[in-house]
Amino acid sequence: MVWAGVVAHYRAFLPVSDRTPIVTLQEGWTPLLEAPRLAEAVGEGLRVFLKCEGFNPTGSFKDRGMTLAISKALEAGSRAVLCASTGNTSASAAAYAARAGLRAFVLVPKGAVAIGKLSQALIHGASVLMLEGGFDAALAIVKAIAETRPVTLVNSINPYRLDGQKTAAYEVVDQLGQAPDYHLIPVGNAGNITAYWRGYQEYHRAGRAAGLPRMVGFQAAGAAPIVENRVIPEPKTVATAIRIGNPANWQAAVAAVRESQGWVQAVTDEEILQAYRHLAREEGVFVEPASAAAAAGLLKAGKEGRFEPGATLVLTLTGHGLKDPESALGAATRPPTVPATLEAVLAAMGL
Ligand code: F0G
């Protein structure tokens, strides 16, 4: 199969025509990897699969929405795009804008963006500003700018973003041969859970999938507005990607959870970091902390007996671990320095 990206592959389900110039980095068709050790840790004969979205061109799921948002911006004659971001959206917007020959403006919370993501936005040539404020303030500002200036907003309030992100649900069904019983996913600005649910429903209506999953979202305990049903003015969590106190797609996410008979739950930073290490050490999959929230949620909800025995679960692992090397170094023990002799190295290795 020649893979030409999600828009080409799922064209029939997307709002494109012959006049749409498709801007792609051949995103999508990411691995759906079985995770036997994670399943074993929960028990109950569960089957657990990881949708590894870190394998996308810029290392996160954002590329699925960005290919479509940038293509449609180009079709509409836009010359520049704009976003607020906790990092991944800005990395993806910068790369696809570069590919399209558009300018990209990015507003990120100062000191709260992982180093890999910031370096991506910069090397792709985006105009990056560090805001003295959090993501929620940044989003409010870029929304106001887009109302009066000739720039296209590419945050997930741009409907093409979620249209593109829906393709992940189509892929899960195509790879698994059916919809899973549960789909577990981290929730920040609440766009992705909304997109998956729409994707599963559309595939179901089109006769491509017999069933529908329950959508289960996980927020970090210090940044859990949907769980607590209130805006969190100063969200806090090690998972900087989902450090959001007032999600843009809040109501749509609540609807997705209600309609699918799922739920939203909080996981602590400690649980997130434990799952982060578990995925890396037991499954060989390196994700960023926000992505580990889904695995932390699996372990927590599993212990609570929320999944019936034998159920099939898919977890979206939203971003690659290399995005945030500082978190990895912080979660592991520092390697000791040794003299350059065979004896010293053998002694230090305990061999
Ligand atoms: N995981 C990662 C790695 C993310 O970057 C994000 C969101 C999410 C999960 C949550 O997805 O917002 O659709 O609920 N990152 C955005 C950004 C906010 O700016 O990169 P969501």
The distance in angstroms from the start CA to the end CA of the chain is 47
Residue to mutate (ligand 1; options 242, 267, 317; most atoms within 8 A of CB): 242
Measured in Å, residue 239 CA sits from the centre of ligand 1 at: 10
Asked if residues 108 and 131 have their Cβ atoms less than 8 Å apart, the reply is: yes
Closest CA to 289 of 219, 345, 216: 219
Residue 1 confidence (pLDDT):
76
In 259-346, beta strands by DSSP E: 263-267, 312-317
The count of other CB atoms within 10 Å of the CB of residue 106 is 29
Measured in Å, residue 196 CA sits from the centre of ligand 1 at: 13
User: Tokens 């797609």 label which residue?
Assistant: 249
The count of other CB atoms within 10 Å of the CB of residue 226 is 23
Measured in Å, residue 309 CA sits from the centre of ligand 1 at: 30
The count of other CB atoms within 10 Å of the CB of residue 325 is 14
Fill in the DSSP letter of residue 319: B
**Calpha distance 104→83 (Å, rounded):** 8
User: Tokens 């906790």 label which residue?
Assistant: 86
Ligand 1 surroundings by CB, under 6 angstroms = 60, 62, 85-89, 156, 186-192, 241-242, 288, 290-291, 318-319
Per the confidence metrics, is the pTM higher than 0.85?
A: yes
Amino acid at 217: G
Residue to mutate (ligand 1; options 113, 192, 287, 316; most atoms within 8 A of CB): 192
Query: Which atom of ligand 1 is the closest one to the Cα of 185?
Result: 9
Measured in Å, residue 187 CA sits from the centre of ligand 1 at: 7
Residue 62 confidence (pLDDT):
98
What the block records as the tokens of 59 is 């290392």
Measured in Å, residue 241 CA sits from the centre of ligand 1 at: 5
Residue 237 confidence (pLDDT):
98
Residue 153 confidence (pLDDT):
98
What is the helix (H) or strand (E) element at residue 187, kind and residue range?
Answer: none
**Calpha distance 168→198 (Å, rounded):** 11
The pLDDT tens digits along the chain (351 residues) read 799 999 999 999 999 999 999 999 999 999 999 999 999 999 999 999 999 999 999 999 999 999 999 999 999 999 999 999 999 999 999 999 999 999 999 999 999 999 999 999 999 999 999 999 999 999 999 999 999 999 999 999 999 999 999 999 999 999 999 999 999 999 999 999 999 999 999 999 999 999 999 999 999 999 999 999 999 999 999 999 999 999 999 999 999 999 999 999 999 999 999 999 999 999 999 999 999 999 999 999 999 999 999 999 999 999 999 999 999 999 999 999 999 999 999 999 999
**Calpha distance 291→192 (Å, rounded):** 12
Residue to mutate (ligand 1; options 189, 226, 251; most atoms within 8 A of CB): 189
Query: Taken in order 299, 304, 308, 314, is the CA torsion positive or negative?
Result: negative
Measured in Å, residue 346 CA sits from the centre of ligand 1 at: 44
Closest CA to 158 of 93, 233, 229: 93
Measured in Å, residue 242 CA sits from the centre of ligand 1 at: 6
Asked if residues 113 and 84 have their Cβ atoms less than 8 Å apart, the reply is: no
Ligand 1, atom 11, residue with closest C-alpha: 188
DSSP letters spanning 109-176: ETT-S-HHHHHHHHHTT-EEEEESS-HHHHHHHHHHHHHHSS-EE-STTSHHHHHHHTHHHHHHHHHH
Residue to mutate (ligand 1; options 66, 81, 88; most atoms within 8 A of CB): 88
Q: Which residues pair with 184 in a beta bridge?
A: 216, 315
